[in-house]
Structure 1
Amino acid sequence: MTQAQAVLEAERCLYCYDAPCATACPTSIDVPSFIRRIGEGNLRGAATTILDSNPLGGMCARVCPTENLCEAVCVRNTQEGAPVLIGRLQRHAVDALMESDRPQVFTRAPATGKKIAVVGAGPAGLACAYTLARLGHNVVVFDARPKAGGLNEYGLASYKTPNDFAQKEVQWLLDIGGIEIRHNWKLETTSQIDALRQNYDALFLGMGLSTTHQLGVAGESLQGVQDAVDFIATLRQTQDLSTLPVGRRVVVIGGGMTAVDAAVQSKLLGAQEVHMVYRRGKDNMSASTAEQEWAQTHGVTIHHWLAPVEVLGANGHVNAVKFARQTLVNGKPTPTGETETFEADTVLKAIGQQLGNPVLEQAGLTLSGGRIATDAQGTTNLPGVWAGGDCRAGGLDLTVEAVEHGKQSAKAIHAQLLRA
């Protein structure tokens, strides 16, 4: 958006009392307040309002499904079918601040002398660390990757985060002071958790989901078949995209945002045909309608009610995928007996991730559905240990929700440390 476009869009806002858009935001951003400031030309003030509630407001403006959250309940949307473009206005304000000479608008509280360990430098871990640092605590973040950011750095298509925005946002978070990140640290033993609990005043777990689900069909190990998250991670760390191989005929299996990212990115890299295949119907896809339309406008063909039954190949390399046509029987997808085969020299699997780290249960953490069970503030069954983000049970697997998890756990940790 240009400044003039932003002001015109801001003037569409009705500045509702008890605004439904703010209620729909997982991080409770005061949407009318920041939009009013944009209308007044006060972008710094608008960004301050956003980042006070959501320290990763810049990235969330890029990837948050606003059409399903704040914009879905916008009064302009319910009355006219055309919501105020809240996400784009948020990005406009935060980007202006990040590009300014003094991007850091907050200062740390006086030092408390307390030290907290955070495992995972993704959205949940970074939000937790930043909130604790603002409150005067010292934080050490342990992460398995060479760069901080988690899925923001390794799991989002390049077209969503150009100009290395993920790292610029990480640097903004670190500029508050009091945060140290230790890279290439992997959680592999229960003794590591024991040591963190003993050596720090509190521990927050925000390591995300480390393993991906498998198709469980013949031919899955053929060359040319890989996880979509690994494909995107490699893409994000490749400086010269012309050196990144991509098939001429790509089949992406899955119906979520990762599948859309992998499919669109494949098309942008030069794939001639890209098929995105999902085992249920359009309404069951976790990718938003806007994401699905984005894929289609970039030449991706989306297929529904097809489940993979075999990956076909020759000379050790994939050359096609066979799918079984599905229909609902008593509410359950059931094969009809019909099959369909798509030629492919690249197959990208995007059928979900799981926690996959046995150390957590071995350390005594209670799991629910394979993820860490917590209360609303992220408190686990282990004293002094909190958890949030995708590794926490019962969530929506959204970046904005992970940020809120980290923020709320930080406030709970702060409150407990004050009582200690």
Structure 2
Amino acid sequence: MSEPTNFFEQAPDAPEIAARFPDLHPPFNKTVALTEANRCLYCFDAPCTAACPTHIDVPRFIKKIASGNMDGSAKTILDANILGASCARACPVAVLCEGACVMHRYNRQPIAIARLQRFAMDSLYESGALLPFSSGADTGKSVALIGGGPASLACAAELRRRGIRAEIFDAQPLPGGLNTYGIAEYKLPLAESLREIDMLAQLGVQFHFDVTVDAKMLGELEASHDAVFLGLGLGAIHKLGIVGESLAGVTNALDYIADYKSGKITSAPAHVAVIGAGNTAIDAANAAARLGASEVHIVYRRGPEQMSAFAYEYENSKLEGVRFLWHTQPVSINGNGIVESLRLAKLDDSLLPKPEEDFDIPVDLVILAIGQSTHTEFLADDNIKLDHGRILIDRATGQTSNPKYFSGGDCTNSGREVVDAVADGKRAGVGIAAWLEEQHANA
């Protein structure tokens, strides 16, 4: 049964979380937005547009802000990226559009593209306007989309605009995938993720929640739909494989972020250690600091040059008070039924432990953030080629080795950015529509 689409109203009321996680980049008011929009050179062959995985026409949407055409600005954004509101908040713009801005050539600040994009989308919400386009004429075709994250949402939007029925099946109680459950609240609040999906639902996308699709159900969906899109994301965060990992007080970064965003947890214990140094690890460490931990350590077996987190995330985390233990790895987690301390080993240049330099730090909570596994085993009998659990696709169309199946997002790229998943879903939606049309022509 399809769920109701007033998702925004289902966001938990957690004033304490809202107070502790204000916007990392506060929104522009109208005066500031107009001033910033008028700084743009409106480049003809804009490098910012080329740098955006969804290729939003950045000069066009900014020029519309400058001229006061807010609806037109939002439409320009949404035509290219149906999740333009969340990407405005969560994208690593310093290495994408703003990183490519021509202003860098003149030693000037790049145009604040993300904040202008957010201004346009917030203006659309505040106006109460509907999505600036509608679903296409019904083709009689349908697609089942497995997973409710950004790739599936973008794919569903493209399908609906072409008159193809789109049904999303997700194991969680709310849609959005990592946008809803896994991105730090100060970047993308849970309520904002759900509000964006409410707008997308105006296209007639159908949602089915608390549904875990296994091999049997996948076969049934394949039989009852004209195509299947796999937007599975990634699976559980890897374990350390050390003594004490089953103690109370050991969790993983995705669960930790989801729990505080939902209001399930509202405070952190005094001493927290996060294992790993990617962007998700940084988000979890910053969250612990904001939730009241007096001491937060990130433990990483390599040096800062090798960390996968973006440099600006690292710098921001230091401002949050997070401490970094480089060339260090956990040996054991110690405690009597509950975590009390973490035994750590220093590593040499060859990443070999130096036992004589083992040391302990007091810890009340250990958060694992050392990468995620895949969960594509149930696809083995569907003629879908995998590479170490990653679904192999034609990057131009999203089609897998089984022509009826398409895919995109983290399950195909091992984990990148929200905007990359949106771009994958968008391409797959177009690819599915073209394939269905070809099948009909050849029938």
Assess same fold via TM > 0.5.
yes
SS in 2 for 1:353: coil
SS in 2 for 1:195: helix
Q: CA deviation at 1:4?
A: 1.1
How many residue pairs are counted as aligned between the two chains?
410
What pairs up with 1:182-331 in 2 under 5 angstroms? 182-188=208-214, 190-238=215-263, 244-313=266-335, 315-329=336-350
Q: Structure 1 counterpart of 2:142, which letter? A: K
C-alpha separation in 1, matches of 2:419 and 2:190: 21
In structure 2, the CA distance between the partners of 1:334 and 1:23, relative to structure 1 (3 Å rule), is farther
Q: Structure 1 counterpart of 2:193, which letter? A: A
Alignment check: 8 A CA contact 2:42 2:59 kept: yes
What pairs up with 1:80-229 in 2 under 5 angstroms? 80=107, 82-162=109-189, 164-177=191-204, 179-188=205-214, 190-229=215-254
SS in 2 for 1:324: strand
C-alpha separation in 1, matches of 2:270 and 2:65: 45
Q: Bigger shift: 131-140 or 348-357?
A: 348-357
1:411 maps to 430
1:358 maps to 377
Alignment check: 8 A CA contact 1:246 1:271 kept: yes
5+ residue gaps, structure 2, are 1-27
Q: CA deviation at 1:81?
A: 5.2
Partner residue of 1:349 out of 368, 381, 403: 368
Alignment check: 8 A CA contact 2:170 2:208 kept: yes
C-alpha separation in 1, matches of 2:87 and 2:167: 24
Alignment check: 8 A CA contact 1:77 1:84 kept: no
- The question of 1:42 aligning with 2:69 is answered yes
Alignment check: 8 A CA contact 1:123 1:150 kept: yes
- The question of 1:382 aligning with 2:408 is answered no
Q: CA deviation at 1:258?
A: 1.3
Q: CA deviation at 1:325?
A: 2.1
C-alpha separation in 2, matches of 1:251 and 1:2: 38
C-alpha separation in 2, matches of 1:56 and 1:214: 32
Q: Structure 1 counterpart of 2:345, which letter? A: A
Q: Structure 2 counterpart of 1:291, which letter? A: E
Q: CA RMSD in A?
A: 1.6
Q: Structure 2 counterpart of 1:226, which letter? A: T
In structure 2, the CA distance between the partners of 1:104 and 1:210, relative to structure 1 (3 Å rule), is same
- The question of 1:33 aligning with 2:26 is answered no
Alignment check: 8 A CA contact 1:228 1:349 kept: yes
Listed one character per residue, the Cα deviations across residues 44-94 of structure 1 (whole Å, up to 9, x for unaligned) are: 211111111110011111111001111111111233152111111111111
Q: CA deviation at 1:357?
A: 4.0
Alignment check: 8 A CA contact 2:376 2:390 kept: no
In structure 2, the CA distance between the partners of 1:81 and 1:254, relative to structure 1 (3 Å rule), is farther
In structure 2, the CA distance between the partners of 1:356 and 1:14, relative to structure 1 (3 Å rule), is same
Q: Bigger shift: 76-85 or 139-148?
A: 76-85
Q: CA deviation at 1:289?
A: 1.7
Q: Bigger shift: 117-126 or 230-239?
A: 230-239
Alignment check: 8 A CA contact 1:117 1:139 kept: yes
- The question of 1:77 aligning with 2:104 is answered yes
Q: CA deviation at 1:251?
A: 0.6
Alignment check: 8 A CA contact 1:193 1:363 kept: no
C-alpha separation in 1, matches of 2:391 and 2:368: 25
Q: Structure 1 counterpart of 2:261, which letter? A: R
Alignment check: 8 A CA contact 1:228 1:259 kept: yes
Q: CA deviation at 1:163?
A: 6.8
Alignment check: 8 A CA contact 1:125 1:204 kept: yes
Q: CA deviation at 1:216?
A: 1.5
5+ residue gaps, structure 1, are none
Listed one character per residue, the Cα deviations across residues 2-43 of structure 1 (whole Å, up to 9, x for unaligned) are: 111111112222212211111111111111111111122222
Q: Bigger shift: 135-144 or 102-111?
A: 102-111
Alignment check: 8 A CA contact 1:55 1:130 kept: yes
- The question of 1:64 aligning with 2:59 is answered no
Q: CA deviation at 1:326?
A: 2.8
Listed one character per residue, the Cα deviations across residues 295-337 of structure 1 (whole Å, up to 9, x for unaligned) are: 2212212232222222122x111112222223434xxx33345
Listed one character per residue, the Cα deviations across residues 86-124 of structure 1 (whole Å, up to 9, x for unaligned) are: 111111111111222213111122111111110011000
In structure 2, the CA distance between the partners of 1:320 and 1:412, relative to structure 1 (3 Å rule), is same
SS in 2 for 1:148: coil
1:397 maps to 416
Report % sequence identity.
42
Alignment check: 8 A CA contact 2:149 2:179 kept: yes
C-alpha separation in 2, matches of 1:283 and 1:7: 39
Alignment check: 8 A CA contact 1:22 1:29 kept: yes
What pairs up with 1:8-27 in 2 under 5 angstroms? 8-27=35-54
2:14 maps to none
Q: CA deviation at 1:396?
A: 5.0
Q: CA deviation at 1:402?
A: 0.4
Q: Bigger shift: 352-361 or 218-227?
A: 352-361
Q: Structure 2 counterpart of 1:66, which letter? A: V
Q: CA deviation at 1:245?
A: 4.9
Q: CA deviation at 1:169?
A: 0.7
